[in-house]
Amino acid sequence: MALDMAGCPNRCRHCYLGYLPTRRVDGAELREVVARLRAWVRPGEAAPYLRHVQAHTWFREPDYRPDYRALYDLERELSGREPARFELLSIWRLARDPDYAAWARRIGTEACQVTFFGLEVTHDWFVRRRGSFQDSLVATERLLEAGIRPRWQIFFTQHILPELDALYALVDRLRLRERCEALGGPFQVFLHTPCPDGEAIGIEGLRPTVSALARVPAELLTASVAHIGRPLGEAEADIVARLRRCAEPAATRWGSAERLGFYVTSRLDVYTNLADLHPWWRLGNLAREDVGTIIRRLEDGDTIGFRVLREVPLSTLAERYGRPRGRRLYTEGDLVSCWVLLESRRRWALNSEA
């Protein structure tokens, strides 16, 4: 369970979490939410429904608050184990707090992901924060100085194509491979297209076409396929042709989480890690509803988004939203995500008008 206790310094155009209001939340609220989740027992049963709850004080920018060390200790206390970090750190803080990287190394961080959208102007435009590109470069240096291997994630859009060679050249200029090897592991760099959910639905017009793959440095393309474990995608038209004949629901092409996670906003709205934070996925609000009501909605799929996911055949979505001649680059899962979002948004609008 992750409670958004501090927010995020960025407003990234690709973020599936969207733009949430930022409100400072104190530790007492986190304790209360965790206690309520742990205490809930299904009527007629003796044992609590949730066997274990691991608490997180963030689900946007980790360690954004100045008291990040105390929050880390709070996570450990409430979870009864070391907090999971997912190889993520605050790029914003790495560029501003000279002690942060060393602290991160002391708690066991060995690698950290750093994201790039292009060179400086392009990157800052995507993040919607001036200086964010320079922050990523400073963060890379501070990670290495602290003994943490950076891993570069590059988002593949039409905007980055003219800059991709120059951005990739920074790997050699900064000697990232050699410096990571000196720390005992390889330097990893990969690129992929944004998943079209959350805010990223607004940049679908920047999605590269299949022909754009020819402009990716061969070494980077090979490394990306190896890291992701699959091709970067295929033409939209090929996926549409395949799914127009598929009567299965969209849920059969939906990614599953390793463990169930609840995202709780600073206003105590509850979502899951199974989808983004659009209103059609909201399970309820802990300030107004009990845990049992929220669990029931999850199990019954009682939101517009879950109903679309479980009930609408892929063939229907493909007919309604697929472009039979589309050349944009998608994975099957990403294209289905796009269609589910569009259909959920349509039904949400109709429901709001009713």
Rounded mean pLDDT of 177-197? 97
Name the residue with tokens 């070391």. 82
Per-residue pLDDT tens digits for 33-65: 999 999 999 999 999 999 899 999 999 999 999
Per-residue pLDDT tens digits for 235-273: 999 999 999 999 999 999 887 767 889 999 999 999 999
**What pLDDT does residue 209 have?**
98
Does the structure show a pLDDT above 90 at 352? no
**What pLDDT does residue 258 have?**
74
CA angle 194, 91, 208 (to 5 degrees): 20
**What pLDDT does residue 131 have?**
98
Rounded mean pLDDT of 124-148? 99
Rounded mean pLDDT of 155-160? 98
Does the structure show a pLDDT above 90 at 20? no
Does the structure show a pLDDT above 70 at 181? yes
**What pLDDT does residue 22 have?**
78
Look up residue 306 and give its two tokens: 């879950």
Round to whole Å and give the CA distance between 283 and 261.
12
Number of Cβ atoms within 10 Å of the Cβ of 303: 23
Per-residue pLDDT tens digits for 314-330: 999 999 999 999 999 99
**What pLDDT does residue 24 have?**
84
Q: Does domain 2-232 have CATH number 3.20.20?
A: yes
Round to whole Å and give the CA distance between 32 and 74.
13
DSSP 316: H
Give percent of the chain above pLDDT 90: 93
Name the residue with tokens 């360690």. 63
* Nearest to 277, CA basis, from 59, 18, 58: 18
CB 281 within 8 A of CB 275: yes
Does the structure show a pLDDT above 70 at 354? no
In a 13 Å sphere around the CA of 54, the CA atoms on its Cβ side amount to: 11
Per-residue pLDDT tens digits for 340-349: 999 999 999 9
**What pLDDT does residue 341 have?**
98
Rounded mean pLDDT of 111-128? 98
Does the structure show a pLDDT above 80 at 104? yes
Rounded mean pLDDT of 122-150? 99
Compute, in degrees rounded to 10, the torsion defined by CA atoms 259, 71, 73, 271: -20
What global pTM score does this model have?
0.94
Round to whole Å and give the CA distance between 239 and 330.
8
Query: Over the chain, what is the mean pLDDT?
Result: 96
User: Boundaries of CATH 3.20.20 in the chain?
Assistant: 2-232
* Distant-in-sequence, close-in-space partners of 19: CB < 8 Å, separation ≥ 6: 11, 199
Where is pLDDT greater, at 23 or 295?
A: 295
**What pLDDT does residue 273 have?**
93
- The DSSP code sequence of 28-59 is HHHHHHHHHHHH---TT-SS-S-S----BS-S
Rounded mean pLDDT of 200-226? 98
Burial class (CB in 10 A: 0-12, 13-18, 19+), 352: exposed
Among 115-129, 256-270, 293-307, name the one with the lowest average pLDDT: 256-270
Give the chain's end-to-end CA distance (angstroms, integer).
34
Give percent of the chain above pLDDT 70: 99
Does the structure show a pLDDT above 80 at 90? yes
Q: Which residues pair with 155 in a beta bridge?
A: 192
